[in-house]
Chains A and B, each alone.
Chain A
Amino acid sequence: MSVTVYIPCDSSAVSIGADRVANAVAQEAKNRGIEINVVRNGSRGLYWLEPMVEVATDKGRIAYGAVKTGDVASLFDADFLNGGAHTLNLGLTEEIPYLKKQQRLTFARVGITDPVSVEDYVAHDGYSGLKNALSYSQADVVKHVSDSGLRGRGGAAFPTGIKWNTVLNTQADQKYIICNADEGDSGTFSDRMIMEGDPLVLIEGMTIAGIAVGATQGYIYLRIEYPHAYEILNKAIENATAAGYLGENIQGSGKTFHLEVRQGAGAYVCGEETALMESLEGKRGLVRFKPPLPAISGLFGKPTVVNNVISLASVPIILDKGGEFYRDFGMGRSRGTLPLQLAGNLKHTGLVELAFGATLREVLYDFGGGSATGKPIRAVQVGGPLGSYLPESQFDTPLDYEAFAEIWAVLGHGGIVAFDETVDLAQMAKYSMEFCVEESCGKCTPCRIGSTRGYEVMDEIVAKRDLDKNIPLLRSLCDTMLNGSLCAMGGMTPYPVLSALNHFPEDFGIEAA
């Protein structure tokens, strides 16, 4: 029997050579007359070890990494197909501490299965959640999600069960499920990893959502920057449909759910749910006034559930093991797990799924291994481009929505970007304003004009001109944006700007207040 070799198809792994390694492995095997079965899996999320090659052995899967094409011949010489010794041998994948210390619920299958194989998915507990959901009443499905304590993983942390319940109880001839896959936050890639590494868990989650609230049509609004995810999602949808898990009469239940992937076009603001719906309707991505809530009048004026990829991908395990199982992870009002993404200047960047409650310091050092450059970590931005910069004195904050809110920071979508001591926070604050200029939808004045004025003021501040006039002006402007903007775009741009100013005043040429 031929040996199975796993080499990720994840676009980040490919960006550092996974395709070339896969070709080299296949070629070398052919040259040596050895028959192997190469599976292109998702990434385990240990990116400093990518491209990571795994081999299935009697003892379990054994990992080698980071593998370059030049290493391939020596791997064969070392009999890696039987787990042979080699400098790149990492031992049993599951025993690698970075992975072993995690609590992978949403990411349980990522990196393990063939992403588009329904058979593989089902063999690894896939579709058990849907099976249960089909045997429950709609209200009971929603109740499991409510009981789980799941809150929107896109960043706003709104209770998912409440959203679903509103849509369930709103009468309409048509309802929709939208998956917000416009993962535009810098430092985040968990949505991408799910869509490329285990797309079927997202499809299952959306199907369960559709059945729960009575929606027959779903859309995945995917950012254009993710062309690999687009291909993989479409392949997975095709396979799920062929296997009777999508379309009419799902698994003989009489229930219907259709799913389509739609691509965005490079507008960050379309990650805001109402702008997203405008975009799906074929319009400019302008933010809508609320109310009405999307749950009552959303896409094409119909009741619509809009959830982030990770929220929806967490639903299958909740329905499989029950709301209480999921709720037992976490702390305070933050229940379950959060897939954290370690990015920027860290030695061990990657995906770390943990129950809420670990401290930022644990994540940065125990998992992240400190900075990649070896210099001290000076600042960390958590929660994307609209998240606050945290100084070292706040690293002991537990990763919990409320604990972060208390220090005027956000967890957002779980992106963690570390900077070493070479960072200039005044430049970063200027960049935040520039980003808002680029990405503002233009509907409300505080965001549209405020960001432009903010960029100009930051330009003055960076040049150290009239600081006693410009710093108060910046604060006043941020106050207007914070309180007067229509959505989080303008409303949260002050988070990175003011946190940089408050925690790193020396970079702005002033002394601590």
Chain B
Amino acid sequence: MMQTVQTIVADLKDKPGALLPILHAIQNTLGYVPPEIVPTIAKALNLSRAEIHGVISFYHYFRDHAPGKKTVRICRAESCLAMSGKDLENHAKAKLGIDYHETTADGKFSLEPVYCLGNCACSPAIQIDNDVYGRVSNTDFDEILKEHSA
């Protein structure tokens, strides 16, 4: 893991404003940003550990622990709320048996809220990893989940 991180940091550290690209590359590779690599990044960018930690914790997208195999994001924004998004949210939590920011016991799915997927013409919307789904009924949700369970 350290080797991977060091390669990423070495590749990107000279970009102007390198920190976000570095964090993205790490999360894309490892699935999260492990707290133990913070000193490595801090040293390479000549910043304090507190500054790096501050950035990681500021952004909703970065996480400091391993997520489930797939991340389910439920849109909580107004357009989806206007189209029974709240029902879908409740259904998703019940179906997965977890709340936001949690991972199912089998480690398959993490659940996160998202504030708009730009899919407002097809509300309510969800996203599983990079796949976006629109006009999702509770039944659709169950089927989509099944597809991603395989």
- Known contacts A11-B132, A12-B119, A344-B123, A265 near B20 by CB under 8 Å: yes
Stretch at the interface among A91-99, A220-228, A288-296, A400-408: A220-228
B37 to chain A, nearest CB (A): 16
Report the bound CA distance from A438 to B100 in whole Å. 13
**Is A16 touching B134 in the complex (CB atoms < 8 A)?**
yes
A418 to chain B, nearest CB (A): 7
Asked if A245 lies at the interface with its beta carbon under 8 angstroms from chain B, I say no
Asked if B60 lies at the interface with its beta carbon under 8 angstroms from chain A, I say yes
A159 to chain B, nearest CB (A): 27
Stretch at the interface among B1-9, B78-86, B91-99, B103-111: B78-86
Report the bound CA distance from A286 to B24 in whole Å. 19
B121: which of A47, A266, A381 is its contact (CB, 8 Å)? A47
A349: which of B62, B117, B122, B130 is its contact (CB, 8 Å)? B122
Chain B residues with CB under 8 Å of A431's CB are 78, 81
Asked if A232 lies at the interface with its beta carbon under 8 angstroms from chain B, I say no
**Is A343 touching B59 in the complex (CB atoms < 8 A)?**
no
**Is B118 touching A12 in the complex (CB atoms < 8 A)?**
yes
B133: which of A15, A280, A381 is its contact (CB, 8 Å)? A15
Asked if A39 lies at the interface with its beta carbon under 8 angstroms from chain B, I say no
Chain A residues with CB under 8 Å of B130's CB are 227-228
Asked if B18 lies at the interface with its beta carbon under 8 angstroms from chain A, I say yes
Using CB atoms, name the residue of chain B closest to A227: B130
Asked if B88 lies at the interface with its beta carbon under 8 angstroms from chain A, I say no
**Is A262 touching B20 in the complex (CB atoms < 8 A)?**
yes
Asked if A372 lies at the interface with its beta carbon under 8 angstroms from chain B, I say yes
- Known contacts A15-B132, A262-B20, A265-B61, A344 near B55 by CB under 8 Å: no
- Known contacts A15-B132, A349-B121, A186 near B17 by CB under 8 Å: no
**Is A12 touching B59 in the complex (CB atoms < 8 A)?**
no
**Is A385 touching B78 in the complex (CB atoms < 8 A)?**
yes
Asked if B74 lies at the interface with its beta carbon under 8 angstroms from chain A, I say no
Chain B residues with CB under 8 Å of A419's CB are 82
A-side interface mostly: mixed
Asked if B120 lies at the interface with its beta carbon under 8 angstroms from chain A, I say yes
**Is A266 touching B61 in the complex (CB atoms < 8 A)?**
yes
- Known contacts A12-B119, A381-B78, A285 near B58 by CB under 8 Å: yes
**Is A225 touching B82 in the complex (CB atoms < 8 A)?**
no
Report the bound CA distance from A280 to B15 in whole Å. 11
**Is A225 touching B117 in the complex (CB atoms < 8 A)?**
yes
**Is B115 touching A439 in the complex (CB atoms < 8 A)?**
yes
Chain A residues with CB under 8 Å of B38's CB are none
**Is B16 touching A300 in the complex (CB atoms < 8 A)?**
yes
Asked if B39 lies at the interface with its beta carbon under 8 angstroms from chain A, I say no
**Is A11 touching B120 in the complex (CB atoms < 8 A)?**
no
**Is B24 touching A428 in the complex (CB atoms < 8 A)?**
no
Asked if B145 lies at the interface with its beta carbon under 8 angstroms from chain A, I say no
Most buried by B among A184, A188, A189, A350: A189
A 430-444 contacts with B by CB, 8 A: 431, 435, 438-439
A267: which of B23, B60, B132 is its contact (CB, 8 Å)? B60
**Is B122 touching A16 in the complex (CB atoms < 8 A)?**
yes
Asked if A284 lies at the interface with its beta carbon under 8 angstroms from chain B, I say yes
Report the bound CA distance from A420 to B125 in whole Å. 18
Chain B residues with CB under 8 Å of A267's CB are 58-61
B 40-73 contacts with A by CB, 8 A: 45, 51, 54-55, 58-62
Most buried by A among B45, B62, B119: B119
- Known contacts A183-B118, A226-B118, A345 near B82 by CB under 8 Å: yes
Asked if A165 lies at the interface with its beta carbon under 8 angstroms from chain B, I say no
A282: which of B19, B83, B114 is its contact (CB, 8 Å)? B19
Asked if B21 lies at the interface with its beta carbon under 8 angstroms from chain A, I say yes
**Is A265 touching B62 in the complex (CB atoms < 8 A)?**
yes
Chain A residues with CB under 8 Å of B45's CB are 282
Report the bound CA distance from A183 to B130 in whole Å. 17
**Is B120 touching A438 in the complex (CB atoms < 8 A)?**
no
A508 to chain B, nearest CB (A): 18
Chain B residues with CB under 8 Å of A417's CB are 78-79, 82, 120
Chain B residues with CB under 8 Å of A189's CB are 118-121
**Is B120 touching A188 in the complex (CB atoms < 8 A)?**
yes
A 273-310 contacts with B by CB, 8 A: 279-285, 300
B78: which of A15, A224, A344 is its contact (CB, 8 Å)? A344
Most buried by A among B20, B121, B127, B135: B121
Chain B residues with CB under 8 Å of A345's CB are 82-83
Using CB atoms, name the residue of chain A closest to B135: A16
B122: which of A12, A264, A279, A415 is its contact (CB, 8 Å)? A12
A345 to chain B, nearest CB (A): 4
**Is A280 touching B82 in the complex (CB atoms < 8 A)?**
no
Report the bound CA distance from A505 to B9 in whole Å. 55
B121-150 Cβ-contact flags toward A at 8 Å (1 or 0): 111010100101111000000000000000
Using CB atoms, name the residue of chain B closest to A439: B115
- Known contacts A15-B132, A265-B23, A284-B58, A225 near B118 by CB under 8 Å: yes
A409 to chain B, nearest CB (A): 15
Most buried by B among A184, A186, A189, A284: A186
Using CB atoms, name the residue of chain B closest to A185: B116
**Is A11 touching B123 in the complex (CB atoms < 8 A)?**
no
**Is B83 touching A262 in the complex (CB atoms < 8 A)?**
no
Report the bound CA distance from A225 to B130 in whole Å. 8
Q: Which 5 A-B pairs have the closest CB atoms?
A: A186-B77, A282-B19, A343-B120, A265-B59, A344-B82
Instruction: Known pairs A191-B118, A282-B18, A419-B82; list 10 more (Cβ under 8 Å).
Output: A14-B132, A228-B132, A264-B59, A266-B114, A268-B115, A285-B58, A300-B16, A341-B121, A372-B83, A385-B78
A-B contacts, 6 listed (Cβ < 8 Å): A11-B119, A47-B121, A225-B127, A227-B130, A265-B23, A341-B120
